[in-house]
Chains A and B, each alone.
Chain A
Amino acid sequence: MGRAIRSLARPAGRIRWYVASLMGDNHYQRYRDNRRRTHPGEPILSEAEYWRMRHRRSESDPAARCC
């Protein structure tokens, strides 16, 4: 979190962080941090496995897109 805040100080870093969060580049990192915090010591999916799991979930729970 502290690192993220420092990178926010720079405008280029801010834009990169924004696009990465919006599109999903840093979603795996967020997931990994979340697992470490909430389920310490338990296995964590690899990045490829994480995305497979996410897509499997959205198979059965699709997000609507508006007209």
Chain B
Amino acid sequence: MSSPAAAPDRIEETRGEITYVRTYPDLPPVAVIDRRPMGVRAKLVFAAIALLGAVAWAVIAFVRGENVNAVWFVIAAVCTYVIGFRFYARLIEMKIVKPRDDHATPAEIHDNGTDYMPTDRRVLFGHHFAAIAGAGPLVGPVLATQMGYLPGTIWILVGAVLAGCVQDYLVLSISTRRRGRSLGQMARDELGTIGGAAAIIGVLVIMVILLAVLALVVVNALAESPWGVFSIAMTIPIAIFMGLYLRVLRPGRVSEVSLIGVALLLLAVVAGGWIAETDWGAQWFTLSKVTLSWCIIIYGLAASVLPVWLLLAPRDYLSTFMKVGTIALLAVGILLARPVMQAPAISQFASSGAGPVFAGSLFPFLFITIACGALSGFHSLISSGTTPKLLEKESQMRVIGYGGMLTESFVAIMALITASILDQHLYFAINAPAAATGGTAETAATYVNGLGLTGPPATAQEIADAAASVEEKSIVSRTGGAPTLAFGMSEVLSTAFGGAALKAFWYHFAIMFEALFILTTVDAGTRVARFMFSDGLANLGGPLHRLRDPSWRVGAWVSSLIVVAGWGSILLMGVTDPLGGINTLFPLFGIANQLLAAIALTVVTVVVIKKGLLRWAWIPGLPLAWDLTVTLTASWQKIFSGDPKLGYWTQHFQYLEAREAGKTSFGAAKNADQLDAVIRNTFIQGTLSIVFALVVIVVVAAGVIVSVRAIRGKGHPLAEENPVPSRIFGPSSLVATGPEREVQKQWDELSVR
């Protein structure tokens, strides 16, 4: 490739409805602008898809009884995504993003063949999806099934198309135009010092609570399950083996070592079954929740300070492989097994707000609980920073940002299906806290039969048999969503592949897969939070400035310890909570995640307004307004509600009064220690709710001030970087169009020469 010295111009050549843009006269075009209207055939295809989607929606919404097949959910989802991607994402692209493929992306400008590198769009789609998909969209919809399948389905599909995908796509687009800057940096640039500082503190506090609740989900899934504990414990030596293999034996053979790792992992899942049957195995690997929590805390600390190549990187390879593989397997399983819904469309708990899985009524708590499957604030941390550094062309942001989130929403729909096909008595026996079910099959049967659910009542024998079918001692009050999902997955996968004999294998396979996801998030998240924390402190200057040096071991250790102590203490608080843990902490997780989304959407909306696109500011503004309404209502209820099941402070003062009145037991607290625990926990949870809400109010207020100034024409200018002409080409969508293929050919010929 020659490098012309003259400053380039934008050279346009229009043939019919297609414009080819060149930046250098001696290079083929770098952009293809296609203005061809949709053909008749395409119109017919989209009309058919829309019609099919409408039929599927009608079946889901109006057919009652136990007749709705899961396949209708898959059809409704896919049709909704196709229409959303083709029309709404395209509108956003045309009116707001306005991609310029003649401008180089950060990946092209800073291309160093390592962390900045233009990457094929299909590969980057895989990378981006692997980075955003985690346990959240699996667990949230499972818990939300408490309210029936319909509200969850509507929010997962509509929320993704109008909110989640919009956030991911727009954050990606503004970060790409800012050399891949992170959300915190962009908040500081666009919202000013106070708004920026609030955003950075908010992101950090929110990450800590997210890590704590995710770790709590793992602890709940593994407690008293020797099989699960063994297979998860084995992932650590397997990862270290993989790390050493790549470092010493065969550097760079990542797929090879990942295949070996997955084979070892499957062996570990099978071996877990044998070991759990032996006396010594059951004795060694049956761990209490508190012990398990300490194991995860120590693991998180180790992962944060050990070299990346030894533990973190190989675990990430395993996790990526398992993630993509298992999700595809589940999708195929659902289509093969075609299970029928057992959950009602809308349950009694949607309006009463007295459900045992999580407290509160449909609005706002359904939206808080589903979180990641429809709108996830956490994604804005991936869309800014990581993905722009690998993006080849601006026009590919639609398929990666918007399309990536659609795929995540599909994962959430599959999770909702697996929870809804379970017998409802069983679902509540698994998901109601031990304080309600009493912890044994007999008491749990009595409890769930008293809930007034549809279908024949459950017997203690049925609940015990269900546990035996997956070779667990008990499934009563295995809260947190992961065991329910694993149970549902084992039903789907054993129907599709292998029959009842493999049910226990699939259950433990699913538990292992979720725990692997979560531990990968916990170790990577601890490291990310540690850097955010030390960066934030280093900004204060003085002796703290030294924290900026990543090779300073003392600084690394101290900031890791503080971050781990942060989420570790909340985790321990959750597992020892007399009130149940998940049902009090999961709302905090959801609120945190959704408030992070509010911060991201505020930054995006401000940028859109600053660009002079006030007319289109409703596109990010609408999800922002909805998200703020939901999260601030939920925060309000958590802080001020007079219902002790809902309001942290009401609960706090009730238990405090009881203690001051000299009582040693009150409500769920059976002794003086438990009473103290409730008083302490509700204080911490209540304080965190206040901090979250205040931080977000500050960020949004800063956003409003900056926007008003911009509308009056008095604000700071945008922090976009000056464009650099591009010298590479790449098609926009996953499948290249005819003119794009033609241009690609010219580039291929050039590189052969």
A residues apposed to B, CB below 8 Å: 1-2, 5, 18-25, 27-28, 30-35, 37-38, 47-48, 50-55, 57-67
Contacts and interface: CB of A to CB of B under 8 A. Distances in A.
B122 A51 contact: no
25 contacts: A2-B748, A19-B255, A20-B255, A21-B123, A23-B254, A48-B251, A50-B251, A50-B252, A53-B114, A55-B307, A57-B115, A59-B307, A61-B115, A62-B308, A62-B524, A63-B382, A63-B528, A64-B378, A65-B134, A65-B525, A66-B133, A66-B379, A67-B214, A67-B372, A67-B378
A47 B376 CA distance: 37
Contact of B134 (A21, A28, A67): A67
Nearest to A51: B251
A63 B386 contact: yes
Given A23-B317, A67-B521, A60 B550 contact: yes
In this complex, the member of B135, B307, B316, B527 whose beta carbon has the largest number of chain A beta carbons within 10 angstroms is B527
B131 A66 contact: yes
Mostly helix, strand, loop or mixed at chain B's interface? Answer: helix
Interface in B99-150: 111-115, 117, 119-120, 122-123, 126-127, 130-136
Nearest to A2: B752
Contacts of B114: 27, 31, 50, 53-54, 57
B131 A64 contact: yes
A34 B112 contact: yes
Contacts of B751: 1-2
Interface in B244-293: 246-247, 251-256, 258
Mostly helix, strand, loop or mixed at chain A's interface? Answer: helix
Contacts of A2: 748, 751-752
Contact of A67 (B253, B313, B593): B593
B181 to A, nearest CB: 13
A30 B390 CA distance: 13
Interface of B: 1, 111-115, 117, 119-120, 122-123, 126-127, 130-136, 210, 214, 246-247, 251-256, 258, 307-309, 312-313, 316-317, 319-321, 372, 376, 378-379, 381-382, 385-386, 520-521, 524-525, 527-528, 531, 550-551, 593, 747-748, 751-752
Contacts of B119: 21
Contacts, number: 138
Contacts of B136: 66-67
> What 6 A-B pairs are tightest by C-beta distance, nearest first?
A34-B113, A31-B113, A60-B550, A1-B751, A67-B136, A65-B524
Contact of A58 (B111, B254, B258, B308): B308
B378 A47 contact: no
Nearest to B246: A51
B525 A18 contact: no
A56 to B, nearest CB: 8
A22 B320 contact: yes
Nearest to B593: A67
A47 B252 contact: yes
A66 to B, nearest CB: 4
B632 to A, nearest CB: 21
